[in-house]
Structure 1
Amino acid sequence: MYQRLGELVNNICIDAILLVLCTSTLIAEVECRKTSPPLLLLVSFDGFRYDYPDMYSLENFHLLNNIGVRAQSISAFATTTFPNHFTMITGVYQETHGIISNNMYDPVMKSVFKVETMNDTRWWSQNSLLETIWKTNEVENINERKSGVIGWPVSLETPINGHRPSKYEVFEKKRQFKEIIDTMISWFLDEKEPINFGSIYYREPDAVGHRYGPNSKEVNVTVHECDELLGYLMNKINTSDLLKNDLNVIIASDHGMEQVNGINNLTYIDDYVNTSLFHYYGTVTVISIFPHADNDTDVIYENLTKIPHSVVYKKNDIPDNYHYKNNIRIGPILLVADGGFEILSRPVSKNISDGSFDGNITSNFDRTKTHGNHGYDNSLKTMRSIFYAYGPQFRKNFTSSIPFYNVDLYSLMCIILDIKNIRQTNGSFNNIKDFLLDQSKINSKIFGQSSIFSFASSLPTIVLVAILLSLIMGVVWSIITCRYAPRPIHVESVTTTIPHRYQLLSTNDNEHHQKQQQNTDNKTREFLGDNEL
């Protein structure tokens, strides 16, 4: 019986060990799936105003609303291309990251930012604490995470604080956007080194919006072409089960577009102030002014206040909500045109090397043919742009009743990419939580990793670990029970002489036994004495 019990316990132990191994494998697979980096694609259509999808009945953009989330996006001031694209990928305002205009001057570098000089890493690395989303993604786990970027309006050939994305291709004006889409999809599906984050850029409808204005038939045609390209992208994604099920997609823009009345609203700065007293940089909507002498600042300021359809600020008086004063690249005086107006300078001969070059303010082309512009106060509704997102981590058929700030985009992407330690930025988690299916990811960032939300998100793993520990304890108990249980005495079946007093008596042996017993009793009396017996 005991032998069979031992065999049974032994079999139970073996089965338990096998079950533990199977459970361990299951847990490993679950953890592997959890640690596989999420997939995210960021797409920017330059100058895509927030209301274009409704104005021009764009089918695929409406589909995005049904399968994902939608919001109006408020750009950071100044509402221009390079500054806002840099804000989108860093999560900080322009005064923090240093790209304050498409054309700017740095008094320390004594250099002007323009296409020919923008590859100097000092332009993009003014803030040493700055980090792009593609760097954040890769440093989270350099062995598992790769980023790919095509044509984003930054200097991709120049390291930003020492880092470039693993895969990148610079902007090419004549390159077809479908080709860009194909390349990006192939990077996600690369068998050897797939990316898990990608970003691509398309220059329209900004270019056509500048030329013809946001309300033109030309913009109508162009945004429908953008809608078709969006459909092409979505179809490419759906051809892959991996991307169809796992890829999160964000469709955004850098700014909106305002109608400009061309020749009817031309204003020249030269008509109001002596431009020999200062040098100036920026765009025709936002101008940064650097007086040659501090004593001339008040005179220059007073004369600039006379320019119609504009607002002029001394640096310390720039509105706080602009987040646009704490940087040396912003001049002591800032001139901002009202929506729909432009401030030009008359073409004169300038010597770029003497520091008087005025960016693209000089009217070196026919402004009467320009009917759209941006760069204005970001509180203007015409400066708002699109924001759509869909995928496994986003809600469906949700339209936000409040605007989305593009400075929050970096934080949102970090949440989607499951970045454990998100850097401090100018963005807010509260502004993005309504977009997500699982808001516990936001709550854990707001309340800390030890919160109940963080515990709840790891509950399946905790249950599996508890099961595993129970099985291990069962195995240990069985081993201890088998080792320390009372062991039965087993008597071998061999021929031995059984003492007479334990033998069964037969009739013939009875008399012999009585004589032996009497002799034994006599010897006992001799040893113990009569009293003790």
Structure 2
Amino acid sequence: MIRHILQLFITGLLLAGCAATQSSGTAGAGDTPLSAQQNRETVTILISIDGFRPDYLNRGITPNLSTLAASGVYADMRSSFPTKTFPNHWTLVTGKRPDNHGIVGNSMEDKARPGERFTMSNKDPFWWNQAEPIWITAEKQGVRSATMFWPGSEVELDGTRPGDWWPFSQALSNDRRINAVVDWMRRPAATRPQLITLYFDTVDTAGHFFGPAPGEKLHAAIGAVDQNIGVLKNQLLELGQPVNFIITSDHGMAETHPDRVIYLDNILPRDQYRLVVDGNYAGIEPLTDDMSAINTAFLKPHENMECWKREDIPARFQYGKNPRVPSILCLPETGWVIYQDKPQWMTGIGGGHGYDHLHPDMIAFFLANGPDIQSNGKIETFDNVDIYSLIAHLVDVKPNASDGDISSFEQALKP
């Protein structure tokens, strides 16, 4: 069954890549066709390629992204800890680290909601309202926004939503996502978004299934998304629509293997604690107020793993002040995983993320290209909290207080 699903998945990627190739090229984003006579305001499109490692750009399979990088700027970007999808996507659009924006994991608990657990399908504002995303700030300041998927973009905060938004569906193909963005750009100026987010999940999915090493199946996913971006770029070019592209990932990807599993049952029987999250790190809560057994079991030295009390998590992670952080955090060596039971799907080499955000395999990707962006090539590595300030600058929105600033982009922005 799993093999059949994977075959369907890869077939879809290959077909998508072929279809995109027929209609995409590598024209520069700043080029303007002779037929384009419309006087349009520049829009900013923030694109996330989930799980895209910086070295994927060097594999000779991304002509569109490589062209944008060569005529703009690109960089390695440090993710925030934990290097998971929801925490880092919320960081990108709030400028705050997970400790400060409240989305401290893909799975988490809050003592204010006993018996409840946040998962990636949760749209309750309670979980999201510790920080305001850029599209809400933009709408409050009269700048129309639209979200073609982004974690948290379906949530109504302070009675406000993006001007346009679609409920997330992994079944919605990348070309349909692009078509929606182009349709928004065909509108009259009064209803045309000035800030758009666009999210691609297929590279991350392929990385989990096949690992980050060069391989036909992963490269099919990378190449297909590159072609999707080429289609978007060229369709907007035909409309005469100037665009500042901000293209990022949320984290990197490390190789995992079924021989590198840490079994929690070898540390403490599972009926003596509550497991909040497992996999690339583990979050553990006590069943009662008595932490003694848990502390004795987990806070001693372990092979291939280190555990801390929430308040003792090393300062370099900038993680542990928020009460939603688990009482005990266990972080394995990069490439190892933590489970009570090894998942059935874990039968060979795969990929994972959630590890130390400073490990090279967890570094994320950044690219910017457009009328307001210099052509300076590779710039210095920076923290992903700075992206928020860049977007606010490009769409002329006064940003809220954040953990980042605009200084990382002095080499990137035109005067």
On whether the aligned pair clears a TM of 0.5, the verdict is yes
Task: From the superposition, tell whether residues 370 and 114 of structure 1 become closer, same or farther in structure 2 (CA, over 3 Å).
Answer: farther
**Which among 73, 78, 93 is matched to residue 97 of structure 2?**
93
Give the conservation status (yes or no) of the 8 Å contact 2:108–2:326.
Answer: no
Do residues 433 (structure 1) and 402 (structure 2) align? no
Give the conservation status (yes or no) of the 8 Å contact 2:252–2:364.
Answer: yes
Pairing of 1:308-323 with structure 2 (within 5 A): 308-323=303-318
Superposed CA offset, 1:60-95 (max 9, x none): 121011211101111110001111111111110101
Corresponding position of 2:383: 405
Question: For 1:115 and 1:53, how far apart are their aligned partners in 2?
Answer: 28
Q: Tell which structure's C-alpha radius of gyration is larger.
A: 1
Give the conservation status (yes or no) of the 8 Å contact 1:131–1:161.
Answer: no
* CA shift for structure 1 position 274: 2.7
Question: For 1:188 and 1:228, how far apart are their aligned partners in 2?
Answer: 20
Question: For 1:260 and 1:109, how far apart are their aligned partners in 2?
Answer: 34
Do residues 162 (structure 1) and 159 (structure 2) align? yes
Pairing of 1:180-329 with structure 2 (within 5 A): 180-191=177-188, 192-215=190-213, 216-241=215-240, 243=241, 246-261=242-257, 263-297=258-292, 299-304=293-298, 305-329=300-324
Question: For 1:288 and 1:162, how far apart are their aligned partners in 2?
Answer: 33
Corresponding position of 1:353: none
TM-score normalized with structure 2 length? 0.85
TM-score normalized with structure 1 length? 0.67
Task: From the superposition, tell whether residues 252 and 300 of structure 1 become closer, same or farther in structure 2 (CA, over 3 Å).
Answer: same
Superposed CA offset, 1:87-136 (max 9, x none): 111110101111111111112112101245x12211111x2xx2111112
Query: Percent identity among equivalent residues?
Result: 28
Do residues 179 (structure 1) and 173 (structure 2) align? no
- The DSSP-based 3-state class of the residue aligned with 1:152 is coil
Give the conservation status (yes or no) of the 8 Å contact 2:47–2:198.
Answer: yes
Question: For 1:343 and 1:56, how far apart are their aligned partners in 2?
Answer: 35
- What letter matches 1:195 in structure 2? P
Give the conservation status (yes or no) of the 8 Å contact 1:37–1:418.
Answer: no
**Which among 371, 393, 396 is matched to residue 350 of structure 2?**
371
CA RMSD of aligned residues (A): 1.8
- The DSSP-based 3-state class of the residue aligned with 2:109 is strand
Structure 2: tracts of 5 or more residues without a match: 1-39
* CA shift for structure 1 position 370: 5.5
Question: For 1:94 and 1:329, how far apart are their aligned partners in 2?
Answer: 10
Q: How many residue pairs end up in the alignment?
A: 372
**Which among 70, 83, 98 is matched to residue 66 of structure 1?**
70
Corresponding position of 1:422: 399
- What letter matches 1:121 in structure 2? P
Corresponding position of 1:455: none
Larger RCO (CA under 8 A, 6+ residues apart): 2
Do residues 45 (structure 1) and 45 (structure 2) align? no
Superposed CA offset, 1:153-172 (max 9, x none): 2250x313432101000111
Give the conservation status (yes or no) of the 8 Å contact 1:188–1:194.
Answer: yes
- The DSSP-based 3-state class of the residue aligned with 1:112 is coil
Task: From the superposition, tell whether residues 115 and 252 of structure 1 become closer, same or farther in structure 2 (CA, over 3 Å).
Answer: closer
Question: For 1:195 and 1:151, how far apart are their aligned partners in 2?
Answer: 15
- What letter matches 1:217 in structure 2? E
Give the conservation status (yes or no) of the 8 Å contact 2:153–2:165.
Answer: no
Question: For 1:413 and 1:392, how far apart are their aligned partners in 2?
Answer: 14
- Greater share of residues in helix: 1
Give the conservation status (yes or no) of the 8 Å contact 2:270–2:340.
Answer: no
- The DSSP-based 3-state class of the residue aligned with 1:264 is coil
**Which among 84, 92, 109 is matched to residue 88 of structure 2?**
84
